[in-house]
Chains A and B, each alone.
Chain A
């Protein structure tokens, strides 16, 4: 896709960081689009897991949010990180 009109953000791979409540093991990664899972404890002492990495598009993001929902995990935040290289 060479032309400039395709430079719409939702058609491109983007970096995301999704935070959920509780601990989710790295072994789940392949169920979450290959995102990297890191568990930590935030300031108020609650355990959170961050899923971060690149997702191809909104369909991929939606699939991951569906899976989190199915696993009954509490979603804390979804952030798009603005570091994807613009072509």
Chain B
């Protein structure tokens, strides 16, 4: 399921033998590199030889690489075109360009594009920067024709990239206008080399050399001066003039004729040049001018003539602004200026034939399976039917590669009447808008109109409506709409059926019907597998696994996550968003089964994977790690990791859920550590103590997600009451929670609530009721091997386990749990270490001492990183080590203890 890329975009253009060497400019480029500048900007209008001079330089330096005169450099070239105004596509090409030299680079970045939610440009840029930082050689990245880019997300990406470029990567940008990058800042920092119009203009010496050497013209000094005056050193103008002058008797008189602006000169001279060609060549030039690039075969398809290869070779020999794009003599393009003028003339002379030329080009590209140019030409030729069919065939691939902008651009140019026979395109248009977080108003009203006029398209309409209902959280409508869609959609609408099944599964989950949701996700997985859609298969599987987990089916969850692992490895080279979720899920399962070491391993893999995606993934993984540390009795480490989770949660603005869950974990940690007043303060701030329990019932029926968060808060409150010895208050809450969890078959929560109920009853002396709840918990938990849900509640559970064994309730399982309890620290020792007798277990390293001193100076983590030239995550690693070695929770305590231990003197 990959999209083909045009290889010619990565080629360093072959050197043009009809141009002179421009050592002067190559030296300026060298100077920029040697003085450690990060960016070289080559900015001049068209026809100043930007591309030629850079490619000339690259070829010369590549050859010089072997001479070991300067450090070895890798050159990476990317020619941009207007079709690149889609961040997804731009990145695909950028990574592919790097992969010409570093085949493994950018895997994570490409995987991030397959995340159905769009990832922030600066996060994507960070992924690339990280990958580049790991490389050792010197790189020069050349982005040619940068003025073609105008999409804001790309500008955001590139600004961040240019601002954080690693020292060993040098960026060369050629553009007709200054690119929207913070150039003034780079200039002020002395990191910018500029080659502008005035530098690129040919000097008199160069003009003389060019006319003599490249064009074999004998010309006087006076004439050269006149030419320089008239053309202002404009390379294309000089080339055009030289071409004409070959046939001119009186050169001085010829030069006198042209004056005025560049465009006028070019227009005049192109006319001169064209008139010199025979009719067949003239026609060939005009007809092929509609092509961005061309091969002989493509030219034949467009012109309908034969022997295009010979014609192309003749044009190269005649130096007619034909630029070879590869070394096999297969692909060419016209010089931009020449192409513009040819198109203008085509427009004037054979306007009515233009659409047909485009359609022929479109057909050739379609036959050769090059989707993007095929669609573009069909659209230019107004063959909407051809374009629609092609888009329909390929939409799934395009959307699944994050190229939503390209897709939307295509559809914008479609006249509405053509969409009536292609309603699927409207569905995709709406979906693409939703992927970008927009309300698909136009698509929604259009699809409704289509379905009203043609009954058979009701399924398409319902699919889009269902997607939108899920987006806006209308669970009941989403259920109804997606169910109808699944009935109405014919089997050949495979991708739409997957989308409809996915909406249905989400809708069931929103309503809290977990069993139905699981069933629907199974459908998604099955359909996606049949259709060969790897990403939807993985998303379906990881959602399914999550549901199994909630429903208490731990082993089924394990199997589904394992499948995600296998498929990701086999099909995606081990990189996918779903894989992060799978590692997190496997870690959580291992923790529940009290295999803490393996839990840690999975969780660190999850962290690694999630670093590549902007998501609430990272804080969730950190919270899971906090739980593992709690299980290991490592209280300080738990707090340190929780502090990091805070930072991640606050940094991600996409959702408040991670902030909420982090808060909950902090309250839970306070309770475990015995800081009950802090936990109580939190509960009061949340208003939990005054909220009538009835609210919970109302909430449970309305919004499954909100209920889950509120339930988390109440369970924490329950633990607080128990810790405060006020179990009777806990017992007012627990039965309500139990009912709702049972109703929704949330068996994991059911077991948790039963255990807490048993502990609370025990505290109030209701021994019999306690054992009733506890024996039920054991019975439900045994087949799935739950451990931590019991062990985490500590000492009171030990008593309950003894009683269960004596009473003969699941005695084998209870013994096993008891064994688990006896090896762990049951509750933390109150930490009342006074600084004086505090002996550090492990001394701080030199680096950690540095960091501690900077902390004491009041620097933020960012400032510390900048000061010590280390990354933010390294700083965090150091602080977390410092905290755990000193056994402190925060900066203030670290400073205090550091002072009393004499570390800060």
Residues of chain A touching chain B, judged by Cβ–Cβ distance below 8 Å, are: 1, 3, 5-6, 8, 10-12, 29-34, 56-60, 62-64, 66-67, 70
Contacts and interface: CB of A to CB of B under 8 A. Distances in A.
A12 B45 contact: no
B792 interface: no
A6 B199 CA distance: 11
B159 to A, nearest CB: 9
A31 B156 CA distance: 12
Given A59-B43, A63-B177, A6 B184 contact: no
Contacts, number: 77
Contact of A1 (B44, B179, B198): B198
Contacts of A66: 150, 177-178, 180
Nearest to B232: A8
B196 A59 contact: yes
A70 B197 contact: no
Contacts of B44: 59
Contacts of B155: 70
Contact of A59 (B176, B225, B232, B233): B176
Contacts of A60: 43, 177-178, 196
B392 interface: no
B853 interface: no
B63 interface: no
Nearest to B233: A6
B601 interface: no
B156 to A, nearest CB: 11
B50 to A, nearest CB: 10
A26 B71 CA distance: 41
Contacts of A11: 197-198, 201, 232
A46 to B, nearest CB: 26
A62 B196 contact: no
A49 to B, nearest CB: 16
A70 B152 CA distance: 8
Nearest to A1: B198
Nearest to A67: B180
B183 A56 contact: no
Contacts of B201: 6, 11
A56 B187 contact: no
Contacts of A59: 43-45, 175-178, 196-197
26 contacts: A1-B198, A1-B203, A3-B204, A6-B232, A6-B233, A8-B232, A11-B201, A29-B184, A30-B183, A30-B185, A31-B184, A33-B183, A34-B183, A34-B184, A57-B196, A57-B197, A57-B198, A58-B197, A59-B176, A59-B178, A59-B196, A60-B178, A60-B196, A63-B175, A63-B178, A70-B150
Sort chain B's interface into a size bin: 20 to 34
B194 interface: yes
Given A1-B203, A5-B225, A30-B184, 19 more contacts: A1-B198, A5-B232, A11-B198, A31-B182, A31-B184, A33-B183, A34-B183, A34-B188, A57-B43, A58-B45, A59-B175, A60-B177, A62-B176, A62-B178, A63-B175, A63-B177, A63-B180, A64-B178, A66-B180
B180 A31 contact: yes
B229 interface: yes
Given A5-B225, A33-B183, A12 B178 contact: no
Interface string B164-185: 0000000000011111101111
A6 B234 CA distance: 12
A15 B201 CA distance: 22
A52 to B, nearest CB: 14
Nearest to B203: A1
Interface in B212-248: 225, 228-229, 232-233
B180 to A, nearest CB: 5
A58 B147 CA distance: 14
Which of B44, B188, B198, B203 has the most chain A CB within a 10 Å cutoff? B198
Given A3-B204, A6-B232, A70 B45 contact: no
Contacts of B229: 5
A85 to B, nearest CB: 16
Given A5-B225, A12-B198, A70 B185 contact: no
A5 B44 CA distance: 19
A10 to B, nearest CB: 8
A33 B187 CA distance: 9
Which of A8, A32, A59 has the most chain B CB within a 10 Å cutoff? A59
A21 to B, nearest CB: 20
A57 B43 CA distance: 9
By Cβ-Cβ distance, the 8 closest A-B pairs, closest first, are A63-B178, A34-B184, A62-B177, A30-B184, A59-B43, A30-B185, A63-B177, A5-B229
Nearest to B177: A62
A12 B199 CA distance: 11
A5 B228 CA distance: 8
Contacts of B228: 5
Nearest to B197: A57
Contacts of B188: 30, 34
B198 A70 contact: no
A34 B196 CA distance: 17
A33 B204 contact: no
A64 B43 CA distance: 13
Nearest to A64: B178
Contacts of A3: 204
Contacts of B45: 58-59
B198 A33 contact: no
B900 to A, nearest CB: 44
A5 to B, nearest CB: 4
Contact of B182 (A8, A30, A62): A30
A86 to B, nearest CB: 15
B178 A33 contact: yes
A53 to B, nearest CB: 10
B180 A56 contact: no
A60 B181 CA distance: 12
A47 B276 CA distance: 57
B25 to A, nearest CB: 14
Nearest to A60: B178
A18 to B, nearest CB: 13
Contacts of B175: 59, 63
B535 to A, nearest CB: 32
Given A59-B44, A63-B178, A66-B177, A32 B197 contact: no
Contacts of B179: 63
Nearest to B198: A11
B298 to A, nearest CB: 32
Interface string B481-496: 0000000000000000
